[in-house]
């Protein structure tokens, strides 16, 4: 007779559900029998009942872009999205980027430096040192070649230990020849 099971991870959260043509015997320690049509993905098994998992606010620091400007000679050829997520500019432009570090929507007055890997779509990496003083940083990037450059949270965190990971909504820069 077919049987359905919820499989829990090491903290009791159901991450997988499976149906087997025969009942599992013996029952694995991380398996809980499900009723017909029941689903428990994302819920926690206490050992006697299922409970919802209360989502906690992500308290990792967040990098927030405050401003992006282009040098005077490239300004007329530069378009910056209102949310600072994308910049379209020309080869030779010098972009000044101002960011702040936040936790819970409040300025996080950190004094620290890290290398931000700016990666082009063809795989080239342009590491840029970012120095935060009192939670803010301004750095420049010169667009020396026609490329599409991307920075994501995963890239920012790639060289950092887990306790230093940050949130970042991302940035895309297109440098084109005119």
CA distances from 172 to 113, 126, 176 (A): 22, 13, 13
- Domain assignments of the chain as residue spans, ordered by start: 3-51, 62-176
**pLDDT tens for each residue of 91-120:** 999 999 999 999 988 999 999 998 899 999
Say whether pLDDT at 76 is over 80: yes
d(CA 62, CA 57): 12
pLDDT of residue 40: 92
C-alpha angle with apex 139: 138 to 144, nearest 5 degrees?
155
pLDDT in tens, 129-160: 999 999 999 999 999 999 999 999 999 998 88
Segment 40-51 shows an average pLDDT of 92
pLDDT exceeds 90 at position 10? no
Residue 1: predicted pLDDT: 75
Q: Which fold has domain 62-176?
A: Immunoglobulin-like (2.60.40)
């Amino acid at each position: 007779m077919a049987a359905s099971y919820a499989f829990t991870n090491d903290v009791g959260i159901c991450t997988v559900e499976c149906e087997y043509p025969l009942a599992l015997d013996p029952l694995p320690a991380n398996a809980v029998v499900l009723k017909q049509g029941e689903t428990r993905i994302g819920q926690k098994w206490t050992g006697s009942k299922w409970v919802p998992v209360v989502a906690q606010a992500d308290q990792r620091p967040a990098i927030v872009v405050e401003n992006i400007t282009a040098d005077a000679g490239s300004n007329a050829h530069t378009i910056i999205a209102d949310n600072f997520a994308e910049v379209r500019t020309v080869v030779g432009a010098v972009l000044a980027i101002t960011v702040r570090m936040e936790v819970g929507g409040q300025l996080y007055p950190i004094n620290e430096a890290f290398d931000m890997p700016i990666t082009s779509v063809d795989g080239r990496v342009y590491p840029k040192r970012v120095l935060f003083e009192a939670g803010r940083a301004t750095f420049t990037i010169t667009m020396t070649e026609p490329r599409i450059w991307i920075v994501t949270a995963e890239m920012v965190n790639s060289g950092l230990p887990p306790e230093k990971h940050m949130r970042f909504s991302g940035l895309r820069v297109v440098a084109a020849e005119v």
